[in-house]
A and B are shown apart, each in its own frame.
Chain A
């Protein structure tokens, strides 16, 4: 077998081609991110100078001298040189050091301090919302036209039209403020509690998760439910379901093995993309609830124009979305062999 045919065979492999494509997407996206970030108006030094001039009445020279003493960044270096350095560092697994939000601190340390909270809050919320939406969607499809369907479909349509941050604000104002629970709706845990593997800390963490969790679930549940309902109704009309019923198979088996399994397929892609975004957190919801997470980190790094932190967060989001899409492709290939054969 010639080398060319071996390479061709490897390339035609479904898995290899998907992985190569994923690497390509990550490279292109991180390159674009690098340049787009630098096209943003202002830079960390200018922002610092303006803050000093406004807050302390310093002259421009004084503020600039102070900025140059405090920051390590050299923004006067040619852009291509900065890009090459960025790529070299990236291939060595070095995301750099924070420029302005925590000057000198390795970006990886900053991200590791925030990421677990985002993974915890967003993954629990997305999975809960997905499971709740799928179950409610199937029930609504089976009872279409009934009271449950009418009430839940209307509720889902309304709730999915309300932006998540608005739901968060409503929860704060109508529950937090009115019932004096505001202190339990801020942060990831209470200030007096020592983090550790103990009941006190764990229960406090869940207590503080309640409000962002409710916001995430309420704002996404409607979409899952309506999609699942539509998909289930469509599957219920398929010939194989009619045949299964005609054969007298038990209803529970038809519901799970025939209808549920096929109806849920289209939702997998959306779920995979959503799971990818777990790593990015939610900028608005984390800010509303002052919840520790990558979304809040991204917000502060954008405001402070901390290029290295922004690059790292965008890179993580890119990788997680690409990897989760890749996994979705692979799982889809397992669930539906036509995908592999078609390729």
Chain B
């Protein structure tokens, strides 16, 4: 009997301790109601790895949500390719200057007013760190408290984007470095000078102890490996527009975030989810939004190898691949075949390409007969084993490398290999770790490779053509370390446009502020791309972003809403909506509960009962023992 009681008491005590450990934290959280809340997800590093110096690597910027803390001068609306004034009220080019007028009455989270000094300080730090904007400007001047101007040395829409979309950091935090940079700059010392390099080295180790901006959400200090919390800044200049009072971000990449989405603990995530997971989300009633990424996988050729350097061979390959099938097997509904193969994303074709240009572009629709005809015209023959042979009788065989960790690109590569092998061009797929693969392509250590086309979250075609012609082609472009890459000649005779210098055209398409002049060059480049095919774009990638409606958040606009022209990353549509109050709002259950008469705290009663149970059990045990 005594033994049985002893076992019972011990069991009860263990159960009680476990129960208490579950109940106590719940009791703690029950004390504060955090509503209305929006829950997003983004990977970040916890201090000491993560830090508040948002200019250098591993800062706690929280990706797209950075602009909810430190705001830019303007937002960008992709549907009509226009900027929306934010911390800036207006801007214009005046002679050699780009002049920006700033909003009055804006304060940082510590109460200090936002002025031109903060904007200048942001760009002074970037000067020290050799930001690419300094190819286009050479001076930043504070005109008055609410006016700042930039001296232009090379006109380009790129500089406007850099200036208007950069989050503004507070002068109060970076004062010491901004002042030193200004001094050195005034002495004519640039980023390459020893003094500036020394200062930059010090700056890399600078770790501000506070994280402030002008944005609607401010740092609370509540951060763990799992999640981070931000609360609303009550003196926010645009407070009526912002409908949420708390922001929580779940830390992690796709594998860590997936269970949170499945548990409906996340309102929106930008991570790339595999089609099977996406299907599960849909079954649970979670909506999938598919915004354009303005980029995708492309089949590149090493043009040091014959016949990959022959345009007719590349065209044959383009005809031999069923790109619709490739898109579907790789990423389901979030991959779309490009109708025109212009080197530009689908969404750029209408605003940037003339109708006559579009009419001229070859879509390279799936046509294996045409591919076979091209090969036969050049002396290739198909053997009894179904494989094509060179005119000398050797079987045509290539290796296709791709980054192993990118699930959609891997699937695309496997499918290309299967399709081309079925067509008769033997392809051996080779997976390479994602950090090594770009190096191999840049070094020219490949035959066929899958890398990206398109400029991603950059709204000017320049970025797309840079990726298409220059990015993997350093030696021919005379840039970087001159690594051979795809070795695509950038000076060629073309059917569409005669003799062309493609590199010059790519850089020229982003020069000046005359959009019509830029369009002419863009059209020319599209025709050149379509004719010469430096790569075969397989499809354009669209997001598959789970968006939960009805739990904490509601009001996601319908799929055809122009807001979804904004990509999920660069000019993130969700950040646009949260800042401007467009669409998204809290559900009724995500609104603070009105104060009512205090009832019994069930959680605390449970804690007291458990403690009482343990005390009684221990008491019985000692009584029996005696």
A residues with a Cβ closer than 8 A to B are 41-42, 46-48, 50, 53-55, 57-62, 64-66, 69-72, 98, 100-105, 109-110, 113, 172-173, 176-177, 180, 182-184, 186-193, 199-200, 203-204, 206-207, 210, 287-288, 290-292, 296, 300, 303, 305
Contacts and interface: CB of A to CB of B under 8 A. Distances in A.
Given A191-B223, A191-B228, A113 B433 contact: no
A60 B479 contact: yes
Given A42-B435, A48-B57, A57-B463, A296 B132 contact: no
B304 interface: no
A206 B470 contact: no
A177 B284 CA distance: 12
B467 A57 contact: yes
Nearest to A190: B25
Interface string B437-450: 01100000000000
Contacts of B433: 41
A98 B265 CA distance: 34
Given A206-B21, A207-B25, A292 B229 contact: no
A41 B227 contact: no
Q: Is the interface of A mostly helix, strand, loop or mixed?
A: helix
B421 interface: no
A59 B480 contact: yes
Contacts of A64: 480-481
B470 A59 contact: yes
Contacts of A46: 435, 439
B187 interface: no
B470 A110 contact: no
A103 B435 contact: no
A189 to B, nearest CB: 6
B167 to A, nearest CB: 13
A245 B244 CA distance: 75
Contacts of A190: 25, 28-29, 224
Given A41-B435, A54-B456, A102 B479 contact: no
Nearest to A176: B259
Contact of B262 (A61, A100, A177, A210): A177
A57 B205 CA distance: 26
A188 B46 CA distance: 12
Interface stretch (B248-256, B538-546, B592-600): B248-256
B24 A186 contact: no
Interface of B: 20-22, 24-25, 28-29, 32, 45-51, 56-58, 128-132, 191, 197, 200-201, 204-205, 222-229, 248, 250-252, 255-256, 259-260, 262-263, 265, 433, 435-436, 438-439, 452, 455-456, 458, 463, 466-467, 470-471, 474, 479-481, 569
Contacts of A186: 225-227, 250, 256, 260
A57 B479 contact: no
Contacts of A53: 471
A260 B436 CA distance: 53
A300 B467 CA distance: 28
21 contacts: A41-B435, A42-B436, A64-B481, A69-B129, A69-B197, A70-B204, A98-B49, A100-B58, A103-B57, A173-B262, A176-B259, A176-B263, A182-B259, A186-B226, A187-B225, A190-B25, A191-B226, A192-B32, A192-B229, A291-B225, A296-B225
A203 B481 contact: no
Given A189-B224, A290-B226, A69 B436 contact: no
Given A60-B481, A287-B256, A105 B48 contact: yes
Contacts of A192: 28-29, 32, 222, 229
A287 B57 CA distance: 22
A41, A71, A72: most-surrounded residue (chain B CB, <10 A): A41
A292 B439 CA distance: 32
B226 A50 contact: no
Contacts of A69: 128-130, 191, 197, 200, 204
Given A180-B263, A182-B265, 13 more contacts: A41-B439, A57-B455, A57-B456, A59-B466, A69-B129, A69-B197, A98-B49, A102-B49, A103-B58, A186-B260, A203-B25, A206-B21, A288-B255
Contacts of B129: 66, 69-70
Contacts of A296: 225
B458 A57 contact: yes
Contact of A70 (B57, B260, B263, B435): B57
B205 A191 contact: no
Contacts of A104: 204-205
Given A64-B480, A300-B45, A103 B204 contact: yes
B205, B226, B433: most-surrounded residue (chain A CB, <10 A): B226
A9 B262 CA distance: 67
A220 to B, nearest CB: 21
A105 B48 CA distance: 7
A119 B223 CA distance: 21
B45, B56, B435: most-surrounded residue (chain A CB, <10 A): B435
Contacts of B229: 191-192
A203 B21 contact: yes
A116 to B, nearest CB: 14
B96 to A, nearest CB: 23
A288 B225 CA distance: 12
Given A104-B205, A207-B22, A296-B225, A177 B479 contact: no
Contacts of B51: 102
Given A186-B225, A191-B229, A59 B48 contact: no
B24 A204 contact: yes
A130 B438 CA distance: 46
B24 A72 contact: no
A72 B197 CA distance: 11
B467 A103 contact: no
Nearest to B284: A177
B132 A59 contact: yes
A62 B22 CA distance: 52
Nearest to B50: A102
B439 A42 contact: yes
A207 B204 contact: no
Contact of A101 (B58, B191, B474, B479): B58
A165 to B, nearest CB: 10
Nearest to A105: B48
A61 B25 contact: no
Contacts of B255: 287-288
Contacts of B28: 190, 192-193, 200, 204
B256, B452, B474: most-surrounded residue (chain A CB, <10 A): B256
Contacts of B251: 187, 290
Contacts of B32: 192
Q: Ordered nearest first, which 9 A-B pairs have the shortest CB separation? A: A187-B226, A60-B480, A186-B226, A41-B436, A104-B205, A62-B132, A102-B49, A187-B224, A191-B222
A183 B130 contact: no
A59 B479 CA distance: 8
A260 to B, nearest CB: 21
A203 B24 contact: yes
B48 A102 contact: yes
A59, A64, A72: most-surrounded residue (chain B CB, <10 A): A59
A172, A186, A188: most-surrounded residue (chain B CB, <10 A): A186
Contact of A290 (B49, B256, B463, B480): B256
Contacts of B456: 54-55, 57
A251 B458 CA distance: 79
A120 to B, nearest CB: 14
A60 B483 CA distance: 11
A180 B226 CA distance: 15
A254 B433 CA distance: 57
Given A72-B201, A173-B259, A186-B227, A61 B479 contact: yes
Nearest to A178: B263
Contacts of A98: 49
Given A53-B471, A70-B56, A191 B227 contact: yes
Contacts of B265: 182-183
Given A41-B436, A42-B439, A103 B21 contact: no
Contact of B46 (A54, A176, A207, A292): A292
